[in-house]
Structure formats: C-alpha cells, structure tokens
C-alpha cells in the first residue's frame, strides 16, 4: 500500500510542479483562489473516484453550501437565494477559472444579514413572550421556505427565541414548585418575573452565539465553501484549515504539547473547563477549573499579551507550545483574586483516547476486556505510542491475571490507522492476510500479518455497533472471516470502506507568501475483507445481532451524502481458524439468550420510541400544551427507567499497574470507577462474557501453538 501511494503522490507532485502552483504568479495573488486551484487539481488527480466538475456538480455544491451557511433559514431572504441562483450552474466554471465571485457575494450578504439579525433578536427579546398564546413552531427547517420580507424574518426569529425561552421558563416554574414543596417559607416569584428571567437566559445564549460568530474570520467561512466543494466527492474528503489540521493530528495521536488544560470562550474571556490528568497544569496544582486566563507571556518576551476578547484559536496558539518551553499565565481565580503562574509545557496524553482494560470476574473465572476508542498513531512517527502497542501491552497484563477469555470493545470506534489494525489482528492469528487495499487503476494489495507468533489464542469476542467504522470494521471483518472471534452488536457496522490520506498542501508550493495553506484529507483507496467483499455501505454484519439505541436512526455511511458504491474483488488466500469446538453452536446459544433477554427487549422498545420522537418537528409554544407534552413524554419514558437500573452479576477491577497509579491520581481513579459502574450495567458485555464461557477451545491445537509473546 505504501509503495502504490508513494507512486500516486510522486505523480501528483510532479504534475503540480509542472503546473507551477506558486504564490509568485502575478495574475493569481489571492490565497483563496490559490487554494481553490490547488485543491481542485489534487481532487481530480488523486481522488479514488474523482467526479466531473460540471453543471450537475455545481448545483449540488450550491445547495449544500447555502444550507451550511444558513441551516435554520434565519438569515437569507428568498430574494438573496434568487440572486445567488445566478451562480447555481457556474460554480464549476469559477473553479476552473479560479474565480470566487459566488463566495464573495454570499460572504458579504451573510455578514450583512447577521448584522440585521443582531438588531432583530435584541428588539424581540426586549418584549415579554406571551406563553398563553396558542401558536407553534416547525423545526423541520429543511422544508421551511425562505422568508420574503423583514416582517416574516422577525416572526421566524421570534418563534425560535420564544421556543428557547419557553424551555427555560418551564424549568424555572418546575424548580419553583419543588422549592415551595420543600420550604413553605420560600418566596414565590410571579410568572412575569420567571418569564423575564427565562428571557435573560435566552439573551445570554444569543450573546454567546454571536460572540462565537464574531470570532469567525473570512478564512473560516471560506473553509466552509471549500468543504462544500470537496465533500461532493465523498463524505470523508475534507479540507483542514491550519488549526483544524492541528486538531486532527491531536485526535489521531492522542497527544498535544502544551499546559494540559481544555479551554472555552466565555463572553470575552478564556475559561479553563478541564485540567487534563498528568499534564503540567495538573502537576503544578495551581490552575483550577473555572479560572479565567487573562494574559499570556512567552519566556522570550518582556510583556504579557492580553487575550481578553481574542479569538479562542488565537489564544490557544499562544498558550500551547513545544515541550520544555515556558509560558507565564496571568489568571483570574474563581474567588476573584489574580495569580501569575509559570508553567513548563510538556507532552500531554489524552487518556480517554487510549486503550484501557479491566479484569472481569464471573463466578470462579477471570476474563479481560479491552476498550479501544480509536486506532490512534503518531502521523509523524508510527514507532511512537500507538493503538497496537497499547493493546498488546494490555493483553500481556491481562494474561498475567490468568484470564480465561478476552472481549475487545470497538463500540463507537470511528477508526484510524490501517497499520495498527494489521498489527492488532496479528496478535490473534498465526499469520495471514488481514485486509486488501485497492488504489484506483491498480491491483489490490494484501496487507498481512507475517509473524507466526500468537499473543492470545483463547476465546475472543468483539463488540461493535453502528458507530464502529473504518479500521474497526477491518478488524471485526478479519476476525469474522477467520472465524477467530464472535462478533456481537448491531445489525451492521457503519459501512466505511474507504481509505483517506492527509496531504499537506504546503509541500507543493515552490514559494509561499500567504502562510500555512492547511491540508486535504483525500479518499485515495478502498479496502476489502480477506473474503473479497467490501465493507463500504454494508459494514460488518454481527454474528449475534442485538438492539441498541441507534437501531432505528440513520447514521451509517449509506445514510450520508455522496458515498462511494459497494463492490467486490477476489478473495485473498487465507485459512480459517480451527481452534474452536462448536463455534456455530456457540453463536446459536447466544442468539437464543438474546431473544429471551428482557433488558434487550426494553432497549429495543426505547430505540423505537426515540426514533419516533425524532420524527416530531412541530411543537406548541403555549405553556399548558408544552407542559402537557413534556408530562406525556415523561410518562412514556418511565417504562424505560429500568434500563439504567439493570445490573449484571459481573465485577470489574483495574489491573495492578493502574491501582498503583490511582494512589496519586484521583482523576484516573474516578474515571475508572465510572467506567466500571457503566460496565456493570452493560448487557452487551454481560452476553460477551457468557459467549466466552461457551467457547470451547481445541486443546490439541493449543498444545501445538503455545501462547507466545510477539516480539
């Protein structure tokens, strides 16, 4: 795979160089035009299934872009749309001619309409809402027409703001009833006062919303335009503006360099909302959740820089920095005092990104569960910490506890590195192909585990759901095709059978006077199971299907716009695992248990009910009707409360090394406690352990292949 991709990259880079993509071209000095030109060229040359950029393409971009700018239809007027429609079939021509007239028109009009909306919402929120008036709001914004005039726009805003305020008003009325019940001396507030307070909450929310909008610069809106273009190729092709690329790298590696705190813009201030366990801020024990960062000073600067009113992204770029460098923060503490704190930046690992494991006890047996949130890796250096290394280490630790079976939990795992999948799959089989990867116009390449050693050849179950995607599907599919594991979960997984590569656009520039151009995540390949079938659209169908909360919600690849089609290639040469006895009978036993399980029946009913509620788009804005609707929903929801009351007979405990860490890390202790509590109520984990109990191992095979550790 690496070789074919390098050939593709070399071809594109040489071609790009011959086309002279450079900021020195006199008739193309604008960065936006340069980005459009460069990205459209790369898409045409590098995308696995490049689309023709024609009038039909233009019309699709037009619709998606306008919807992205104004999804609630509370800015643009019908007259704006009619004016924009002049470009409906011209976007393709603008791309070819490196023109951005359409973007300029929409951007300037949106800014103008947002200014009008600021005035409108302030005027509306100065007048009390009448919650006795019998009117309703339709929240199916996609089907709503655009307004014709300011009067209609005012009414649209009024209904949305009233809907928001009504929710707060209801909460306040209910809270007052509770207070009066508990305390006869409680001073009752009038409905007029409660309505005013609810309106103030809405005012604050809108103020914060528009402050966020004010932080957006022209380049941010242009990124929306570019992505409306690139996402027409498929749902996973995406343009990353420079700071978005940084976030993507952090998400994939689970690491960042900085002080180890999560920040949020609150009014004009930058607020600390979480201290990351183990990071510099956590170790220093002087920065607290709720603190406001007022000023930032680098170690080579004399004066600090005020970040009050600064864009959050810009503030974060000042606070974070390379490992070993110093930053001094002027902080307003929760108690109102001011403190100046010097912090030495460090590599911060986002613990929730990484694999974690637990010992599971049932009767006199010990099992292990490994939860893998994503297939993470370092994009600059694969040899650094990655999912495969961590999963291997967790299995070694679980084996030291003499586990009898292993559950790998891939639920909600959206994927990641292909290589980590191959390495993890190799922990469970002797050797053989894991996945087939196909680049456009080339024969499929087979990625194989070539190491005959097996780390774990005992009973294995893999848990999946509708959000298990991409790399998760490769691992589940390989283990299913080899009959190495039993897959328990949704009817099918997400259905993402495509491979993306992130291309740094700056590397293609001979010179660059515009700064960082960002990167393009581009679909370059498709992957296939070892049996030849694609996971695209169809996903992996579980051996044992169980209902969950997503069962009746359209969230898979097939429900996205512009997905690539399903297809099939020849099977790879592989031999199914023969280490189990009564493999199919174990699946049958599980299906029978699941069919009789009252908890799963309740979960299924709840999933249907949630789906039905999602289809409701019209809500009354009259208080009595609104209250009655909530009461009816709560009454229906009561029968599902037993879902949270469910308790298995399993017990969970951390591995010895984590118990040692917890002595000095209360945050880790609390996180594991919450996880174990959740697992103890998890009917899917309960069934996975039951399946492990049923899975009988061929002892002759095990004696031939003793458990060994992969080097």
* CA trace torsion 275, 279, 283, 284 (10° rounding): -70
Q: To 5 degrees, how large is the angle CA 586–CA 588–CA 593?
A: 95
**Nearest by Cα to 415 from 243, 538, 576, 535:** 535
| Catalytic residue list contains 470 | yes
| Catalytic residue list contains 481 | yes
**Nearest by Cα to 256 from 306, 304, 315, 317:** 317
**Can you tell me the distance from the alpha carbon of 20 to that of 32, in angstroms, rounded to the nearest whole number?**
16
Which entry of 172, 496, 521, 526 is annotated as an active-site residue?
496
State the CB neighbour count (10 A cutoff) for residue 624.
11
Which entry of 481, 543, 682, 694 is annotated as an active-site residue?
481
Q: From residue 302, how far is each of 296, 520, 706 by CA, in Å?
A: 11, 38, 64
Do 401 and 655 contact (CB within 8 A), yes or no? yes
Which entry of 253, 277, 417, 470 is annotated as an active-site residue?
470
For helices 418-425 and 387-400, what crossing angle results, to 10°?
20
**Can you tell me the distance from the alpha carbon of 143 to that of 108, in angstroms, rounded to the nearest whole number?**
25
Radius of gyration, alpha carbons of the chain = 28
Do 403 and 359 contact (CB within 8 A), yes or no? yes
Chain-centre distance of CA 298, in angstroms?
A: 33
Do 675 and 424 contact (CB within 8 A), yes or no? no
**Can you tell me the distance from the alpha carbon of 621 to that of 618, in angstroms, rounded to the nearest whole number?**
10
> Which DSSP string corresponds to 597-632?
-HHHHHHHHHHHHHHHHHT--EEE-SHHHHHHHHHH
Do 21 and 38 contact (CB within 8 A), yes or no? yes
Do 621 and 159 contact (CB within 8 A), yes or no? yes
**Can you tell me the distance from the alpha carbon of 295 to that of 311, in angstroms, rounded to the nearest whole number?**
13
Long-range contacts of the stretch 123-127 (C-beta < 8 A, 24+): 123/154, 124/154, 124/157, 124/158, 124/161, 125/161, 125/199, 125/202, 125/203, 125/206
Q: In the beta sheet, which residues pair with residue 358?
A: 369
Do 425 and 475 contact (CB within 8 A), yes or no? yes
Q: From residue 387, how far is each of 164, 315, 429, 463 by CA, in Å?
A: 43, 31, 18, 17
**Can you tell me the distance from the alpha carbon of 194 to that of 171, in angstroms, rounded to the nearest whole number?**
10
| Catalytic residue list contains 615 | no
**Can you tell me the distance from the alpha carbon of 268 to that of 279, in angstroms, rounded to the nearest whole number?**
26
For helices 101-124 and 218-230, what crossing angle results, to 10°?
120
Catalytic residue numbers read: 470, 481, 496
């Amino acid at each position: 795979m690496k070789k074919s991709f390098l050939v593709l990259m070399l071809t594109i880079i040489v071609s790009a160089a011959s086309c002279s993509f450079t900021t020195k071209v006199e008739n193309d000095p604008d960065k936006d035009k340069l980005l459009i030109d460069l990205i459209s060229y790369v898409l045409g040359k590098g995308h696995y299934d490049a689309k023709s950029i024609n009038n039909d393409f233009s019309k699709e971009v037009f619709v998606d872009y306008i919807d992205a700018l104004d999804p609630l239809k509370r800015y643009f007027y019908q007259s704006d749309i009619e004016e924009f429609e002049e470009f409906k079939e011209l976007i393709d021509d603008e791309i070819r001619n490196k023109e951005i007239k359409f973007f300029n028109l929409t951007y300037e009009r949106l800014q103008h309409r947002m200014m009008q909306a600021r005035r409108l919402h302030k005027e509306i929120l100065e007048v009390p809402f009448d919650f006795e008036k019998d009117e309703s709001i339709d929240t199916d914004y996609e089907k709503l027409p655009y307004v014709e005039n300011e009067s209609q726009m005012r009414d649209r805003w009024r209904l949305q703001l009233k809907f928001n305020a009504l929710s707060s008003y209801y909460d306040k009325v209910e809270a007052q009833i509770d207070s009066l019940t508990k305390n006869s001396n409680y001073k009752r507030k009038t409905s007029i006062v409660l309505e005013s307070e609810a309106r103030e909450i809405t005012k604050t929310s809108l103020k914060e919303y528009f402050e966020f909008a004010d932080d957006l610069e022209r380049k941010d809106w242009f990124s929306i335009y570019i992505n409306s273009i690139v996402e027409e190729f498929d749902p996973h092709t995406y343009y990353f503006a420079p700071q978005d690329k940084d976030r993507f790298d952090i998400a994939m590696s689970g690491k960042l360099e900085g002080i180890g705190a999560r920040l949020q813009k609150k009014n004009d201030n930058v607020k600390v909302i979480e201290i990351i366990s183990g990071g510099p801020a956590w170790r220093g024990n002087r920065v607290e959740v709720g603190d406001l960062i007022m000023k930032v000073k680098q170690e080579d600067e004399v004066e600090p820089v005020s970040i009050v009113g600064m864009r959050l992204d810009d503030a974060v770029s000042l606070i974070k920095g390379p490992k070993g460098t110093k930053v001094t923060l002027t902080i307003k503490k929760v108690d109102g005092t001011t403190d100046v704190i010097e912090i030495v930046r460090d590599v911060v690992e986002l613990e929730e990104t990484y694999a974690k494991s637990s010992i599971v006890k049932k009767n006199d047996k010990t099992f292990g569960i490994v939860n893998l949130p994503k297939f993470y890796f370092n994009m600059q250096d694969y040899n650094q910490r990655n999912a495969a290394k961590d999963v291997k280490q967790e299995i070694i630790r679980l084996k030291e506890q003499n586990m009898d079976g292993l559950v790998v939990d891939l639920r909600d795992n959206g994927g990641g590195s292909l290589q980590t999948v191959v390495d993890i799959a190799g922990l469970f089989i002797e050797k053989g192909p894991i996945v087939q990867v196909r680049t456009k116009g080339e024969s499929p390449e087979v990625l194989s585990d070539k190491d005959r050693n097996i780390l774990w050849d005992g009973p294995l179950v893999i848990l999946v759901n509708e959000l298990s995607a991409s790399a998760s599907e490769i691992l589940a599919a390989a283990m299913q095709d080899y009959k190495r594991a039993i897959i328990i979960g949704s009817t099918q997984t997400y259905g993402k059978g495509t491979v993306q590569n992130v291309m740094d656009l700056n590397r293609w520039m001979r010179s660059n006077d515009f700064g960082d151009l960002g990167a393009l995540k581009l679909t370059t390949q498709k992957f296939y199971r070892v049996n030849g079938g694609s996971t695209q659209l169809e996903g992996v169908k579980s051996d044992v299907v169980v209902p969950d909360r997503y069962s009746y919600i359209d969230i898979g690849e097939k429900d996205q716009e512009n997905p690539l089609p399903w297809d099939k290639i020849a099977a790879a040469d592989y031999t199914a695992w023969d280490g189990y006895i009564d493999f199919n009978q174990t699946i049958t036993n599980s299906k029978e248990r699941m069919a009789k399980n009252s908890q799963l029946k309740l979960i299924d009913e709840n999933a249907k009910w949630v789906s039905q509620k999602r289809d409701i788009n019209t809500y009354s804005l009259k208080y009595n009707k609104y209250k009655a609707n909530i009461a009816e929903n709560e009454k229906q929801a009561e029968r599902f409360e037993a879902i949270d009351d469910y308790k298995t007979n399993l017990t969970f405990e951390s591995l010895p090394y984590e118990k040692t860490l917890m002595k000095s890390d209360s945050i880790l202790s609390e996180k594991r406690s919450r996880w174990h509590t959740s697992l103890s109520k998890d009917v899917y984990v309960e069934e996975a352990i039951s399946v492990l109990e049923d899975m009988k191992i061929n002892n002759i095979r095990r004696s031939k292949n003793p458990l060994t550790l992969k080097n």
